[in-house]
Amino acid sequence: MKSLSVYIHIPFCAKKCNYCDFLSAPATAEKRKQYLSALKSEMQAEAKRYEDFCVKSVFFGGGTPSILEAQAITELLEVLKTAYHMDTQAEITLEMNPATATKEKMESWKKAGVNRLSIGLQSAHDEELKMLGRIHCYADFLESYQNAREVGFTNVNIDLMSGLPGQDMKKWEDTLQKVLALKPEHISAYSLIIEEGTEICQNIERYPALPSEEEDRKMYQRTKEILKENGYTRYEISNYAKEGYECKHNCVYWQRGNYVGFGLGAASMVENVRWTNTCDFDSYLAKCKQPSDFQKEKQVLTQRDCMEEFMFLGLRMIQGVKKADFERFFSKTMEEVYGKVLAKWEAQHMLYQDESHVWLSEQGIDVSNVIFSDFLA
């Protein structure tokens, strides 16, 4: 059977973080109930399209999935297990905020089949958490992490964020060291991006100064050094893992595997066809009330689209992309299509290649977005 990854979007949170531009917002209990009912209807209605697929990974994202009652996660997984072919070894990840994840919820998640937690810490400093608009403190995180281990979770990711207003190298290294002392299996370390429409963007003058571009880059380099010293391999631009604990679900995105998204605004790509659910809450509920009419505007990707994605998504992976895979997928060599682009960046030592692979150099990773844009028509 063909492989499929499933993303389930939970667009609810207790409070919008000051840096967040994701499709999420607080909601009443009744609104959550309506949404979950619609979500189950969508999942059930779409199942017939995937009779020839086996679900290899599931990812509950948001928003804040952990804000839901524990039974809600159980019921959603039951729909998947009943209506879809599920790999018994499927990686099932749930994003959680320390302020909304009780030990009882974790026990219920684990019993339902969740086997990987992704905990949004961001910083080990309470003043930074407050500035970001997070609803938890560091002590909350420590309690949640201990609960996760006691419940029996053996695959835990911790999300961290550098380049915060007023942050210096000392504070960032302190956060890293505190997290490393806990020995999680996976660490995601991102630089803060000021997105339009967020509270920070709209009121930037109220915040401490952002680190300079040079300071931000130094934090990024130091992250790689410290994590490497502690046994974590960087396998993607912002992701580090102990051996064997790379996030299987996210690798599907970077390697252009098949994935289907359920829920408000969720994106899908299956066999080079892409579509995205409506971002309007009422429209989503209305469509799910008539599952037989749940039509989605789909875009069939051209060969050029697929080649571009193969390059700029695959080059996010530290191992890079394989020339043989490119030729197998597109019946053209990588040199035929992108020879000039490869030569340009190789001459600047931003990119390396040998007979089998193409990958970014350390300097190339620093300016990866610029390089990626060169692969777009």
- Topology of domain 303-373, per CATH? Arc Repressor Mutant, subunit A (1.10.10)
Report yes or no: 281 and 309 within 8 Å, Cβ to Cβ. no
State residue 159's pLDDT score: 98
Percent of the chain with pLDDT over 90: 95
Report yes or no: 127 and 6 within 8 Å, Cβ to Cβ. no
- Topology of domain 2-254, per CATH? TIM Barrel (3.20.20)
pTM exceeding the 0.85 threshold for the entire prediction? yes
Question: At 21, is the pLDDT very low, low, confident or very high (cuts 50, 70, 90)?
Answer: confident
Within the chain, strands assigned E span: 2-10, 53-62, 85-96, 116-122, 156-162, 186-191, 233-236, 239-241, 259-262, 267-270, 273-276, 298-300, 321-322, 351-353, 357-360
Report yes or no: 271 and 300 within 8 Å, Cβ to Cβ. no
On the question of pLDDT at 112 being above 70, the answer is: yes
Residue ranges of the chain assigned to CATH 1.10.10.920:
303-373
209 CB-side CA count, 13 A: 5
Question: At 351, is the pLDDT very low, low, confident or very high (cuts 50, 70, 90)?
Answer: very high
Residues 6+ apart with CB under 8 A from 284: 35, 38, 263, 264, 277, 278
3-state SS class at 138: helix
State residue 294's pLDDT score: 61
The span from the CA of 102 to the CA of 262, in Å, is 25
The residue to which tokens 């989605």 are assigned: 296
Residue ranges of the chain assigned to CATH 3.20.20.70:
2-254
